[in-house]
Structure formats: C-alpha cells, structure tokens
Structure 1
Amino acid sequence: MEWENLTSVSEFFLLGLSQQPEQQWPLFGLFLSMYLVTVTGNLLIILAITAHAQLHTPMFFFLANLSLTDICFVSTTIPKTLANIWAQNQVISYTGCLSQLYFFLMFGMLEASLLAVMAYDRYVALCYPLHYIMVMSPGLCGFLVSASWVTNALHSLLHTLLMSSLSFCAHQEIAHFFCDINPLLSLSCTDPFINELVIFTVGGLMGLVCVLCLVISYAYIFSTILKIPSAQGKWKAFSTCSSHLSVVSLYFGSSFCVYFSPLSNHSAQKDAVASVMYTVVTPMLNPFIYSLRNRDIKSSLKKLMWARKIQSF
C-alpha cells in the first residue's frame, strides 16, 4: 500500500452539535464552563498529589497521570469547538483535522489504559495487601505508565496514517464537533475496508486487553471482598475501588457504543451525544468522583486551599 495523501480537499467543515443559530451561544457557554471546570478540577488533583508526601503512592501516581490525560483529552477538542462557535466559522484544515484525530485517539486510549492499570493496582492492594509495596514498586509504576504512553502514541499514529491514505472528495461536512474516526470514514471516496479492519482488530485488541484487565481484576477484588466476614469490612474494602469503578462505567459504557458497533448502524446524533459523555462529561466528573470519595484527597485539597489563603493574607 502506498502511504501517499490522495485527498483532493484542503479543509473540512465541523457541523457541531446543532445547526440552530439560537443554540450556538448556549452551547458555547456550556462547553466553556465544562472545560474550565475540567481543567481546574484536574489541576487541583495534580497539585494536591504533588504537594503532599503522604499521597506519593502508586494509586495517587496513577490518578495524577489520569488527571493530566483528562486535561490533554478535553484540550484536544473543546478549544477548537469554542473557537468555531466564537468566530462563527466551522472550518478546520485537513492537517489540523488529522492532528486532532491523532491526539484524540492517543489520549482517549491512554485514559482506557490508565483505568486498566489502576484496576490492577486496586487488585494488588486488596488481594495482596502485605505484598503491595513490594509488587507496586516505583519501577513497575513508571514502566506501566510509560508503556501506556508509547503504545497508544504508536496506535493512534497507525490510524492517522491509514486515514491520510484515503481520498476525500466533494462532500466535506463532518457531522460532529471534532474530527473523529467514524465521521471521517463516512466521507471517504475510497473503500475504507482496511481502516475498518484495523479498528476492529488492532483497536479491538487493545480495547479487549483493557477490558480483560478490568474484568479479571474486579472479579478477584469482589471475590476477596465477599470473603470478608463483617459487613462493615466489606463496605470499607469496596469503598476503596468504588470511585474507580464509577469512572470506568462512565467512560467505557459511552465509548464502546460509538466505536465497536458497525459503521452502517451509526447515527450522527447518537454518536455526538455519546461522544460528549466520554470526551467532556467523564473528564469533568473524574475530579469530583475521586475527591468526594477519597479522604486523603479531600484533606490534601483543604490543606492546599488553606495554604493559598495564608499566602494571600
């Protein structure tokens, strides 16, 4: 296969979530507020973890990386959406579209990988508490995070190169608020069979690895929790992974609806709503879920806020 750019277009038009003029500014306000809440909340999580030595543990190391990924994830799509609404201009260049696709896929899959890694961390903590520090060593934690970054960077590069080999003719309107892989495939003049095959094989394999890691980890976790004699002990053990389980359900539930159903069954409205859930809502809720259910995070955030107040006085 020749990896040359066969496209005859230089730009695309992002139609967004609505074509109604009266809905544009409410959407702008909604997306701007969600973006600011997401960035602020995740930055606070990162600051709280880095500023307090008691949070320098594997669990919070992975959480800090997840918060960084969430910031990068929303920054890939939302600023361009806000700029388009503000300028009343729906245009995105061909190069800009492929760049957005690359970073969107990378940070989207990186989030899934980190959630799987965090599930393994909870499995070791609950099933082998006496060996936790030895098993989850700094070297292993660094390797798991680095491997996730490198693997997903290469994975998203593969999809982007395959997309660049397609020919796009005449119809240039993307029925979405960002350059996602399925809307772009629907615009192709050439047969996207290879692209779809890679999505269902390579993408499906990576997704399957993450899901298997989650399912197996939580199967052992629930088995261990059920063996605890007291109800209070069971609830205390379950509460240590309830936040993570909530985030996993939100993220995988919406993203699987978009990417692992046949292309012929996709509708622009359904995909857009599902995409908002896992690209905007989930990253925004992550800091609240983890901070409200984690005593250490709440304590560190209070100390951080108190230190800021003292400095301001």
Structure 2
Amino acid sequence: MENRSNMPTFILLAYDLSSIIFFLLLLLTYCVTLTGNILIICVIWRSHHLHNPMYFFLANLSFLEIWITTTITPKFLAILSNGNRAISFWGCLVQCYIYFILASVEFISLTIMSFDRYVAICYPLRYGTIVNSLLCLYLIIGSWIGGMISTLPPSVILPFMTFCGPNRLEHFFCDIDPILRLICEDTSLLNLLNLLISSFTVLGSLLFISVSYIFIIIAIIKIPSSGDRWKSFSTCVSHLLLVSIFYSGSVFMCLRIIKNTSVDFNKLAVVLNTIVTPLMNPFVYTLRNKQVKVAMKELLFKTVQK
C-alpha cells in the first residue's frame, strides 16, 4: 500500500471464531439490544408522565446505544458468517469516525445525566426551573456537536497520510491504533491529538461525574430519614451502573500498554462499550424503575387492545 489509490481494502483480523454458537449468540445479543432500546424510546415518547428531563436524557442514551452497537456488530456478524474480512479504505475511516463520535457523545451524555441527578437531589425545589425543556435540548445538541468536533481533527488529517506495508488490521473493526500502525509517515501529531482528545473527553467527564456524586452523597447523608436517603440514592443507581460499565472499557484501553499478557485490553474495551453497555441499558433502567415498568405495561396493554 504505497498510497491511497492502490489500497482499496483493509483486512480485519478479528478473532478466529467460526463457531455457529458464537454467531447466534452475538446475533441474539444484537437483536435484544435493538429491541430493548427501541422499546425504551417508544415508551418514553408515548407516556406523558415520563416527559421529564431524566427520561429525555435516557431516550437520547438509548438512541446512542442503538447506533454505537450498529456501527460495529453487523460487520462483525458478516465476518463470522461468511469470513469476508475486507472493508474499503473509506468505509474503514467512516466506521472509525462514527464509532469515536458516538463514544464521545456517550461520555458527554453520561456526564449530563450526572448533572441532572445532582440538581434533582441537591436542589429539588428548583429542579423544574433549572433543568427545563430548553436547557435539556441545548445540552443534548451540545453533546452531539461536542462529540463531532472532538473527533474531527484526527479524522481530517488521517486520509491525507501515506500508507504502506500490509493492509491487515489487528482488530474486528477499524480502530484508530491499528490504522496508525500502517502509516509510513510520522504519526506523532495524530498520537498527540488522540491523547489530548481522549484525556479531555474521558478524564474530564469522569472528573465531572465524580464531583457531582460527591455533592450528591453529601446531600443524601444530610437527609434525616433512612427511607428517604435510600429513595434519593436509588434514582442514581441505574446511572452509576452504566457509568461503571462504560468507563471500565476506557480503563481497559489504558491497560493496553501492559506487555506480556494474553488479554487484548483494546478489544475487550470495544466489546464492553459496543455490546455489553448497549445490551445492559434497557435492563438497568427497566428492572429498577417502577415508572418505566408501569408505562411499558400500559403501552403493551394499549397495543394488545388495538
């Protein structure tokens, strides 16, 4: 691959898993993920008593989960089903760009949801005036714009780099690190940009979430009744579970610098963020949320009546 004109495809060296059981398991996981997240969006849209900021952010998160898993899983399923590991140069770059846009937006969205819980618990009487519909809209639009802008600089530079050597990517999707290994030129600028962007997005959002929950815990401790304390904290449990799973993937990506280990932390991180988290989202927010369960039963009852 001396230049872009004579490298029509990359070859994805995914895990050598040709088992029909693994394919069916991944397909089932993908279908459950899509069904669960679409159902959450429909329930929130059709149930007027769920038209509040918390569920507005949840619907946006479910929409994100649908697309972040769709960016990776269909191609992975195609590799497992027919062994076709080829992906075009531009198709690879588009997949890489979309994945990192959606991941960045999800980091920002989880941060916004922690801000929502902070205001709801620390300023319950002013919650409706602070987190109003207009602010919710601005925050959601801002998260998408922020995700797009944060991944734009390396995406603009990457297509103009010179590629050489083999066209094999040691991954089951077009991740930025294996792509950079195929570039003949000095990639220090791209590596620096990726480090700065990921540090700001991941560590910045994690710091904001951590500070929010410190204030939330302090506010909950001051509540005199133990029942009221648990009731307040229970509204944060679902969000904390998703944050733990999603940020665990980022921690695993940081652990990829560890040598002499049989565990591929980069691939494990992608599995957590694109398969496990989207799958868990519907269950985390429905199994622990009475309002969502009631709204879901009402929607199903109305559907059956029709």
> Which category describes the TM-score, using the shorter chain as reference length?
over 0.9
Q: 1:187 matched to which residue of 2?
A: 182
* Pair 209,185 (structure 1): closer, same or farther in 2 beyond 3 Å: same
**Residue 141 of structure 1 pairs with residue 160 of structure 2:** no
**Residue 272 of structure 1 pairs with residue 270 of structure 2:** no
Q: Which amino acid aligns with 1:294?
A: N
Between stretches 248-257 and 180-189, larger displacement belongs to 180-189
Q: Aligned to 1:10, which of 8, 11, 18?
A: 8
Return the TM-score normalized by structure 1.
Answer: 0.91
Report the 3-state secondary structure (helix = DSSP H, G, I; strand = E; otherwise coil) of the residue aligned with 1:89: coil
Does the Cα contact within 8 Å between 1:254 and 1:277 map onto a contact in 2?
yes
Following the alignment from structure 1 to structure 2, what is the Cα–Cα distance between the partners of residues 166 and 248? 35
| Identity level (%) | 37
Count of aligned pairs between the two proteins: 303
Aligned Cα root-mean-square deviation (Å): 1.9
**Residue 236 of structure 1 pairs with residue 234 of structure 2:** no
- Long gaps (5+) in structure 1: none
Following the alignment from structure 2 to structure 1, what is the Cα–Cα distance between the partners of residues 21 and 152? 35
Does the Cα contact within 8 Å between 1:9 and 1:169 map onto a contact in 2?
no
Following the alignment from structure 1 to structure 2, what is the Cα–Cα distance between the partners of residues 166 and 264? 28
Between stretches 239-248 and 227-236, larger displacement belongs to 227-236
Following the alignment from structure 1 to structure 2, what is the Cα–Cα distance between the partners of residues 173 and 264? 22
Deviations 1:21-40 (CA, angstroms, capped at 9, x unpaired): 4x3x2332122111101110
**Residue 221 of structure 1 pairs with residue 219 of structure 2:** no
Does the Cα contact within 8 Å between 1:176 and 1:268 map onto a contact in 2?
no
Report the 3-state secondary structure (helix = DSSP H, G, I; strand = E; otherwise coil) of the residue aligned with 2:87: strand
Return the TM-score normalized by structure 2.
Answer: 0.93
Report the 3-state secondary structure (helix = DSSP H, G, I; strand = E; otherwise coil) of the residue aligned with 1:191: coil
How far is the alpha carbon of 1:174 from its aligned partner?
1.3
Following the alignment from structure 1 to structure 2, what is the Cα–Cα distance between the partners of residues 183 and 26? 28
Q: Which amino acid aligns with 1:229?
A: P
Following the alignment from structure 2 to structure 1, what is the Cα–Cα distance between the partners of residues 111 and 232? 19
**Residue 114 of structure 1 pairs with residue 114 of structure 2:** no
* Pair 31,137 (structure 1): closer, same or farther in 2 beyond 3 Å: same
Between stretches 285-294 and 186-195, larger displacement belongs to 186-195
Following the alignment from structure 1 to structure 2, what is the Cα–Cα distance between the partners of residues 26 and 185? 33
After TM superposition, list the pairs within 5 Å mapping 1:12-161 onto structure 2.
Answer: 12-16=10-14, 18-21=15-18, 23=19, 25-161=20-156
**Residue 208 of structure 1 pairs with residue 188 of structure 2:** no
How far is the alpha carbon of 1:270 from its aligned partner?
2.6
**Residue 199 of structure 1 pairs with residue 194 of structure 2:** yes
Q: 1:171 matched to which residue of 2?
A: 166
How far is the alpha carbon of 1:310 from its aligned partner?
1.3
How far is the alpha carbon of 1:167 from its aligned partner?
2.5
Does the Cα contact within 8 Å between 2:121 and 2:232 map onto a contact in 1?
yes
- Long gaps (5+) in structure 2: none
Following the alignment from structure 1 to structure 2, what is the Cα–Cα distance between the partners of residues 261 and 150? 29
